Structure 1
């Protein structure tokens, strides 16, 4: 049984962007969707590690060969933040159950700085169950950098080998395993329950 359970946020507890939210971003950007999302994800790591929204969206525009006016960048930032604020009720319920059992819980998320207060204001009730919240924008490194996993374990007061890590991205799971964590790709709340019991 793991001493601590460390969860990714987006794609595990928080929901991924909906098609409607993505279309809103595409409409504001006014560029071809495939090219936009290629640039959006290719340039995301520095943003997750603390880069400002203005710098990020300017870099996206440069990669696309266009220019976003300040008002467009502001609108893109707002739409992007809104697209990442929903949570999975089944996972929220599981987090509450685990906290009620006295489990030591950690959160390790690649998250942009200005999304943190928005997300915490909306979901502060269940986020309070976590003993440590490790945000990439606050620590200056993002998964799959090994240092991100080390810091998450340190903030929980345990060794990496004492952690079960759950993430929806294979490359992050592999990196966690390289550091000695037990790590699994997320499938469902039921899967997580079975992993904790095993």
Structure 2
């Protein structure tokens, strides 16, 4: 139940975590002998069910390779899976420190589209995420942004109201989806723009 709370809800990749490592998709395409453009198109087109745990990692990679007419051997699938996880492993240290620094001023949570096997690796590499007020990972909760249910999950889990949230994401469609259910939304570009916005949003007298 809301008591005029302040909850900063961060996307992870593109905000705290860096975007996929440049060149990673080209390397994966080369591994399976596919053109980079075709591989990239298939990579993203097949992704939503994997992000939302409606497909396992082997099912995702099998569907992707089938789309490219590439035989889906077990060794290749595992190599691609591991390369994919590694390509998303970089974190912006400044943003991670900033998110943690807000804990004394607001509640802090993360809502991220991430497959379940990626999430397992992320939580080992970034154990501080478990200390946040809530952690909503699509592969674990089985729904992905921009589906409204992803945002409602956070509202329900935190026993809050949509108006209690400031949602920060680098994708406009996700920000609009959050705003559609009553959250405040901000399209992330850089910390220097975000920090003053949060300072203004927090109640006067916040530490």
* TM superposition score normalised by structure 2: 0.90
Distance of 2:31 and 2:162 partners within structure 1: 42
Q: Is the contact made by 2:46 and 2:63 (CA closer than 8 Å) also made in structure 1?
A: yes
Q: What residue number does 2:39 align with?
A: 36
Q: Is the contact made by 1:11 and 1:167 (CA closer than 8 Å) also made in structure 2?
A: yes
Q: What residue number does 2:132 align with?
A: 130
Q: What residue number does 2:117 align with?
A: 114
Alignment length, in residue pairs?
Answer: 196
Q: Is the contact made by 2:32 and 2:70 (CA closer than 8 Å) also made in structure 1?
A: no
Q: What residue number does 1:189 align with?
A: 191
Structure 2 stretches lacking a partner, 5+ long:
201-207
Deviation at 1:65, TM superposition (A): 2.1
Tell me, what secondary structure is at the counterpart of 2:13?
coil
Q: What residue number does 1:70 align with?
A: 74
Q: Is the contact made by 1:106 and 1:156 (CA closer than 8 Å) also made in structure 2?
A: no
Tell me, what secondary structure is at the counterpart of 2:76?
helix
Deviation at 1:133, TM superposition (A): 0.4
Q: How does 1:108-187 map to 2 (within 5 A)?
A: 108-125=111-128, 127-187=129-189
Q: What residue number does 2:21 align with?
A: 18
Tell me, what secondary structure is at the counterpart of 2:116?
coil
Verify: 1:60 aligned to 2:64, yes or no. yes
Distance of 1:2 and 1:29 partners within structure 2: 50
Who wins on radius of gyration, i.e. which is larger?
2
Q: Is the contact made by 2:25 and 2:40 (CA closer than 8 Å) also made in structure 1?
A: no
